[in-house]
Amino acid sequence: MKTNINRAYLIIFIFLAALLPQTVYGSTVDVIKIDGIINPVAADFIGQAIKQASNDSAECLVIELDTPGGLVESTRLIIKDMLASDVPVVVYVTPSGARAASAGTFITIASHIAAMTPGTHIGAAHPVTLQGGDDEKSTMFKKLENDMAAYIKSMATQRGRNAEWAEKAVRESVSITAEEALKNNIIDLICKGTKELLEKINGRKVIIKENEKTLNTAGASINRIEMSFQQKFFNIISDPNIAYILFLVGLVGIYFELQSPGLIFPGIAGVISLILAFFGMQTLPINYAGLALIIFGIFLFIIELYVPSYGLLTTGGVISFVLGSMMLIDTPYPFLRISLGVIIPVALAIAAIFFFVVGAVIRAHRAPVKTGYEGLIGEHGTADTDILEHGKISVHGEIWDAESDEQIKKGDEIEVTGSAGSERMVLKVRKKS
């Protein structure tokens, strides 16, 4: 009888232990942060996070968003992954002062649950072509505008949000605060932090692939997912300013290798920098006139080393370099352009490198040889013996065989004029005048 009671207790204990992780630890919520331009790296990161949240059996994936906008194709990839997700995707515009502009508006409206922090704003989704061809009268622009308006309306309708305002965000570039977005049914709630967000969405019902799911996020543990090292690296070099610097480092490195063949390191560093720069610029509209001005500016720096222009060529090079850098990325998006605060210091640094460093190398190449017999030409010494035709002299503390066409007495000062022997071991001298 006692054995049966012990077995009953054991079964009850095992049953309670099986429930313990869910009752004590609760559910899990995966959280990622997107702070910057929506680019291919951001799209890849969000796609992987959605897959990981599904593998983790997370209640939902929270995307803490702060973006000025980004690329249309990257935005479409993100929305595709969100619509195909097995877990609810919650977009939370945070912290205070953050924005979900342009591409961020599309991503927020496409989410299963949209939330914002007080002091944030959303909108300004008017399409602008990367090349700056935003002529509203052009047929191509109208097609782009109509396509994006229909795209955002379909997502707003699917999520039960204000499709009329969503269309205005595209066609009229309207932008509203978090409070106005809640009032106009653009977002679902306003909260002051991620923990408050999880408390407020607890018990909400969302549709996942035509199936209803009730969120259980109260007291959920938060699992923050970070970008991999590879994603962080490629995200950094995708910044237009970083790509621009890498491009210039590549040009300078290759020039040094061509100027002094055999150094190897400048050539390798230059090629790697150029490849990374091209990767970073692959989605950016490069203006070839700007690129030509940059190369012409570097050409003027090089010419300054050979042609004394009293700084005129250097000045022209700096002006050409700055103008070319400003024109290099031709887009109306401010966040995709190269900052003037980067262009001017880099232009001055490049000018200094060519003026001082490269100039020093060229001057060293042009300097007279200071070793061997060539370094003795023009030097003065004394005759150690009488020199009728042959004799010995002392130059720089060294004893050399010497020949002279004139008679030189022992102790006379002499001047080296060249080499008298075929093997250049006998110096040609004359009496110092």
DSSP tag of 220: P
Is 143 catalytic? The answer is yes
DSSP tag of 408: B
* Dmax (CA) of the chain: 135
Catalytic annotation, pick one of 80, 142, 143, 183: 143
Please enumerate in sequence order all residues whose Cβ is within 8 A of that of 408, keeping only pairs 6 or more positions apart, or say none: 383, 386, 387, 391, 414, 429, 430, 431
The DSSP result for 132-185, as a single string, is S---TTSHHHHHHHHHHHHHHHHHHHHTT--HHHHHHHHHT--EEEHHHHHHTT
Task: Report phi then psi at 338, rounded to 5.
Answer: -80, 130
Give CA angle at 255 (253, 261), nearest 5°.
Answer: 95
Catalytic annotation, pick one of 102, 111, 273, 404: 102
Radius of gyration of the CA atoms of the chain, in A: 37
Q: Which of 215, 188, 218 is nearest to 204 (CA)?
A: 215
Q: How far is CA 229 from CA 5, 155, 226, in A?
A: 56, 33, 9
Q: Which residues are catalytic?
A: 102, 143
